[in-house]
Chain A
Amino acid sequence: MAIIVDARGLSCPQPVLMTIGEIKKGSDDIEVLVDTETSKENVSRAATSHKCDVTDVTEEDNFFRIHIKRN
């Protein structure tokens, strides 16, 4: 079961801080919810630089769900 990080409505750098925080806690399977393209790009970039892969990004009702898995 993936850990959900709800960063909707938060602006930079919060979504990235929350994502990295969750990765550092040791979570292997994370879904980050964000609502801007900028946050989507920033979170994906941060995940990639923390030995994780962005396996999928799905667009839902007014937000993005970013699937992150440790590589």
Chain B
Amino acid sequence: MKNIFSSRAGIIIVGAIIGILAPVLQKMGNPGNMGICVACFERDIAGALGLHRAGVVQYVRPEIIGFVLGSLVAAYIFNEFRSRAGSAPIVRFILGAFAMIGALVFLGCPWRAALRLAGGDGNAILGLSGLIAGIWIGTLFFRSGYNLGRTGKTYTSVGWLLPIFMIGLFILLILNPQIEGEAKSDVLFYSLKGPGAMHASIFVSLAIGLLIGFIAQRSRFCTMGAIRDLILFKQAHLFSGFVALIVFAFITNLILGQFTPGFEGQPVSHTMHIWNFLGMVLAGLAFALAGGCPGRQLFMAGEGDGDSAVFVMGMITGAALSHNFGLASSPAGIGPHGMTATFVGLAVCLFIGFTMRQKFA
């Protein structure tokens, strides 16, 4: 069967749909310039589970659950579910953790960097520049033979583990709804103020997450791949989807009155330019070495890729470390150990990049 979403028009339509729905989610309650942010939302999930105790960012985000399950449904309908695993899982875990640490120095994943730009946040220019620089470093490693090794076919259940984890999170969310004025509902933590307290209704978030998960699986939408393919192959296929996301998010923000240009006082952001840049250099390099942006990792996990699932768990762990040890930024600026963590992360990524090179015949 021909996959209409794999065409140039298909990827542009998918980017446009994400670009429209993210600001709409913001209008319906999600945080500013954070209609969708894979890194922030996984961080919120880590908080809801009590893996970190930053009170302002604790919520089981149904969008993330929807991304994985929407992709799972699409993969099964189109006979693309393939359970696979075994390609350097520990490396993917470490890359996931440092990708999250870098993203939280900037305060956003590539999707949110695009959405911040589309909302008028000038600091996003530094973040996106850092993202491009990090991915560019990654392409140098690809050119010199870097790869994570081959994955292998495995039991169907292996590919199901992350989707089952997501179903479990959704059950927890339904069984432990937020109690007015309470920061805890049995096992789940909630935020009383801050970004974690800002969210669209559960079912709207889940429905939009499922839709995006479905179409992103079909189109292979990836923001890291967009920049990587442009640098490595001069091929603009995925990039056109990323541009469509920014353009349509900008238009939607204008229509909804959510466009406010400037650097100061932007929602959930800081103005430390060097760290906005370097945080995303780290994240971009880690995404490149791991083969996908955080969204794409969720979609691949939904189609049975157990190694992507490990990356996701690495990101959730990285979020917990970030908030427990003062690595994450806040609107006041970077955390006390954000600088050290960024340099350690870059060193670890370079170590991985230099030592995992091999020429295939």
Contact = CB atoms under 8 A, between A and B. Distances in A.
B129 to A, nearest CB: 22
Contacts of B360: 10, 14, 18
B291 A11 contact: yes
B151 interface: yes
Interface residues of B, number: 25
Interface in B84-109: 84, 87
B233 A38 contact: no
Name the interface size band of chain A.
Answer: 20 to 34
B237 A9 contact: no
Given A35-B82, A37-B80, A9 B152 contact: yes
A14 B142 CA distance: 8
A46 B228 CA distance: 14
B168 to A, nearest CB: 27
A71 interface: no
B82 A36 contact: yes
Contacts of B147: 10, 14
Given A8-B150, A20-B233, A46-B233, A13 B228 contact: yes
A16 interface: yes
Contacts of B233: 13, 16, 20, 46, 49
Q: Give the top 6 A-B pairs by smallest Cβ distance, nearest first.
A: A9-B150, A11-B291, A9-B151, A41-B6, A37-B80, A14-B147
Interface of A: 8-14, 16-18, 20, 35-38, 41-42, 45-46, 49, 62
10 contacts: A9-B87, A10-B150, A10-B360, A11-B87, A13-B232, A13-B233, A17-B232, A41-B3, A41-B220, A46-B235
